[in-house]
Structure 1
Amino acid sequence: MMENTSYIELSRKAVQNNFDYLREIIGDRVTISHVVKGNAYGHGINTYVPLAVELGAKHFSTFDAHEAHQVYNAVNGDATLMVMGMIDNEELEWAIEHQIEFFIFDIDRLKKAISAARKMKTQARVHIELETGMNRTGFEKDQMAEVIKIIKANAEVLFIKGICTHYAGAESYANFFRVKDQFQRFKKGVKRLEKNDIQAEALHAACSAAAVRFPKSRLDMVRIGIMQYGFWPSTETYIEKVKPTQILGEDPLQRVISWKSRVMNIKHVKQGEYVGYGTSYLATSDIKVATVPVGYGHGFSRSLSNTGRALVREVRVPVIGTVNMNMMLLDVSQVDNTEKGDEVVLIGNQGEMSISVSSFSDYSDQLNYELLTRLPHDIPRYIVE
């Protein structure tokens, strides 16, 4: 059996910890929808979703129908699924047949969903998305009269599971007033629908940041993405929520993911020699260099050239030279007895040392979200305790 050049571990203990912490914050009344778009933020839908179900998750959100199909197969239909973004008109019948819920934010999708539901002689489970200031997707205020008319005329084939919106940056103080205004617009939109006898089973608007920062925005359901995996939406969110109540440096969330590889080769480079492609790194002394078979083709960004870090034998070592498509080079001069085959930790812990995903944003311009979702689907994922 051929092995991949790296592998990912998901911690069951960390997932349980994060679920418990989120439930403690959000309370028992509010439904948590676990957002698993972007291949479960790089954690792997096929590995993460069954684990989440095992630990109590009952509702999942995806961006598109392809992801929903993956989740459906992963849970054998034993969870509620909601598509927040892309679903082609020809995919609507599959969604309706399998009771997959989906956002409706334009007239075309609304009409096509009604036609598909009539053809199949059943109800489409839909969430009506309102435009409140994000200016991305959602029905505009001046479209609502037509939307209301169409929904009322076809009420027998539409199950209004939700009315929803999405906040434009709840993780940042800079967007405070914009988000507050969005909440007010959303409430007005909901009232207008309710006055026209269009009731939803659930109102929802909050992502991870809004759920922890604005309790009133939790409504009936929250859509939790990054926090379930052990990451805060922003430093601001972490400081506001954690620092007043926790010991300095103590984080109530635990990182679920670890990314590991191994040393492929050891080479000794003399002072004055360049290392790797081009002339970006010059050895200023005799050094020992370890080659690791992971590069930007595996999701380790080229922007981490000469700035990234990894762990070898519990020592944090620097990435030197340009990150290649399939390889990177580490200066392991300070590591005793480094050998071919030694474990290399790119994300995660090794002994008392750690490399966090957030540290990558310190070394490059990548966000947590970006690095995680760039991790290739074919890297093996394993569950560990």
Structure 2
Amino acid sequence: MINNSLITLNENAVENNIAFLKKKLGDKVKISAVVKANAYGHGIEQIVPLFEKYGIDHYSVFYYSEAIRVFDSLSKPATIMVMGWLCEESVRGAIARGIEFFVFNIERLNFAIKYAKELNSKAKIHIEAETGMNRSGLNADELKNAITKIKENADCIEIVGFCTHLAGAESISNHVRIQSQLKKYNKMLVTLGANGLIPKYRHVANSAAAFVYPKARMDLVRIGIMLYGFWSSSEVYVQYINHKNNKINPLKRILGWNSQIMAIKKVKSGEFIGYGISYLAQTDIITALVPIGYSFGYSRSLSNKGRVLIGGQRCSVIGVVNMNMIIVDISHVDNAKVGDEVVLIGKQNDLEIKVSAFSEISNELNYEILAHLSESIVRTVIKQ
């Protein structure tokens, strides 16, 4: 291994997850693969060609810069949808490239009209409705204003979608709030239709909503975390698996993360290890230095708590996680040597370190841990 660490992407897991989701959601529902946050840490440039290979032709991102990365990673035309940030100039760039984008305020709609006219092309927009999350979207009065502007500029605006975002479908505690959101969404959809504006796609569901609220699937679902092999929450997984005779998780994790031993040291009993006094050796021990730290996404909250796999053994991270290094107790690992594989996420022999193990120790969400994985880490595709 030339690099300090390596992220692997399992192509067989990609194929499995897409096949499962397509079968579950049905032919009438379009899957938009959410690849924001560097494809949830998996790498846009590496994951998009895999998704494309197994039949995904619609992608959702948050930033325009991500949209360009997806655009450049595709081998054939596909739909790209920006759900979040575009500066004024990026609105122009999106229209020029045929990239779709959310309109959640009148200012962006005005930019869309301005640059569509300038380019003599149609802006492909998704009108986002504010239904109760109170984050982004047009309220009922703003929607009426938007409808007027769109009808006045029908030659340069194409309404591809009408959407909203549900406030926490992964938890039953939000059920009443989500039901209220769906009612508001449908009421605003009626307003849109009454004005002769019929979107190609009605979409409100992310991974959790697509499984917990089947009626929310509509025409398109924005699937993120499940494509990568994770359930949105234990509640969503339990709700799904409880109705199945086969209790095996149908999703497979795509990502693995490996490093190697950089140095080995013997430390005597009574010595402190690493920064400060957070770890005191109770006996003579052997430690391994591993060249990854919080600058690569290995959280500092894993200090004295994290686990890795070395030589087929589960080993403890001891001392404070450094910016570029962690220290591991390998006293019980026979014949360990510099260069030996260190598994941070993934399997080694019969043992496995899951992302959920990070979550339980650090109180970070799966989403956080994946999104924090540094883009500087090399990513490569494997088949297993």
TM-score norm. by structure 1 comes to 0.98
- In 1, the alpha carbon distance for the partners of 2:170 and 2:144 equals 33
Return the alpha-carbon distance in structure 2 between the equivalents of residues 164 and 106 of structure 1.
13
- The equivalent of 1:267 in structure 2 is 265
Deviations 1:109-167 (A, max 9, x none): 00110010011111110000000011011001121221111111111111100000000
2:257 matches 1:251: no
Match of 1:221 in 2: 220
Deviation (angstroms), 1:77: 5.2
**Cross-structure match for 2:151:** 152
Q: Which amino acid aligns with 2:363?
A: D
Query: SS of the counterpart of 1:9?
Result: strand
Aligned to 1:292: 290
Which of 374, 377, 380 pairs up with 1:376?
374
Confirm or deny that 1:78 pairs with 2:82: no
> Which ranges of structure 1 fall in alignment gaps of 5 or more residues?
none
Deviations 1:197-230 (A, max 9, x none): 1110110000000001110000000000000000
Q: 1:203 aligns to what SS in structure 2?
A: strand
Could you tell me which residue of structure 2 aligns to residue 317 of structure 1? 315
Distance 1:311 1:352 in 2: 10
* Structure-1 separation of matches of 2:57 and 2:106: 30
The letter for the 1-side match of 2:92 is E
Q: 1:3 to 1:246 in 2, by over 3 A?
A: farther
AA paired with 2:256?
S
Map of 2:205 onto structure 1: 206
Q: Distance in 2 between matches of 1:3 and 1:90?
A: 40
1:174 positional shift:
0.9
Q: How does 1:331-342 map to 2 (within 5 A)?
A: 331-342=329-340
Q: How does 1:50-89 map to 2 (within 5 A)?
A: 50-76=49-75, 78-89=77-88
The alpha-carbon deviation at position 268 of structure 1 amounts to 1.2
* 1:226-269 Cα distance to aligned partner (Å, 9 max, x none): 00000111111111112431545x21110000000000111111
Percent identity of equivalent pairs = 48
Look up the match of 1:353.
351
Between the aligned partners of 2:339 and 2:268, the Cα distance in structure 1 is 23
CA–CA separation in structure 2 for the residues paired with 1:114 and 1:299: 41
Measure how far apart 1:76 and its partner are: 4.4
Structure 2 residue runs of 5 or longer lacking an equivalent are none
Distance 1:135 1:113 in 2: 23
| Equivalent residues in 2 for 1:90-239, closer than 5 Å | 90-239=89-238
The RMSD of aligned alpha carbons is 1.1
Answer yes or no: is the 8 Å Cα contact 2:49–2:75 preserved in 1: no
Post-superposition shift, 1:272?
Answer: 1.3
Could you tell me how far 1:314 is from its partner in structure 2?
A: 1.5
Distance 1:34 1:149 in 2: 32
Cα deviation, residue 22, structure 1: 0.8
| Separation in structure 2 between the aligned mates of residue 181 and residue 170 of structure 1, nearest angstrom | 12
Distance 1:257 1:304 in 2: 19
Alpha-carbon distance between aligned partners in 2 of 1:246 and 1:8, rounded to the nearest angstrom: 34
Which AA in structure 1 matches 2:153? N
Which amino acid in 1 is paired with 2:187? K
What amino acid is the match of 2:170?
A: E
- Give the letter aligned to residue 194 of structure 1: G
Aligned equivalents of 2:327, 2:16: Cα separation in 1: 35
Range moving further from structure 2, 104-113 or 263-272 = 263-272
The residue type equivalent to 2:251 in the other structure is: L
**Structure 1 moving runs of 4+ over 2 Å:** none
- How far off its partner does 1:335 sit? 1.2
Supply the distance in 1 between the matched residues of 2:91 and 2:243 (Cα, whole angstroms).
Answer: 47
What is the aligned residue count? 383
Q: CA shift at 1:271, angstroms? A: 1.4
Q: How does 1:293-308 map to 2 (within 5 A)?
A: 293-308=291-306
Whole-angstrom distance in 2 between the partners of 1:246 and 1:337? 45
SS of 2:21's partner is helix
My pick for the range that moved more, 68-77 or 212-221, is 68-77
The alpha carbon displacement at 1:105 in A equals: 0.5
1:45 aligns to what?
A: 44
**Mapped pair 1:21 → 2:14:** no
Q: 2: distance between equivalents of 1:308 and 1:205?
A: 37
Following TM superposition, by how much is the alpha carbon of 1:365 offset from its aligned partner in structure 2, in angstroms? 1.6
Report the TM-score, using the length of structure 2 for normalisation: 0.98
In the TM superposition, what is the alpha-carbon distance from 1:24 to its structure 2 partner? 1.7
> 2-side partners of 1:179 and 1:115: how far apart?
35
- Aligned equivalents of 1:282, 1:207: Cα separation in 2: 46
Aligned partner letter, 2:111: K
Distance between the aligned counterparts of 1:144 and 1:65, measured in 2?
Answer: 24
Q: CA deviation at 1:378?
A: 1.4
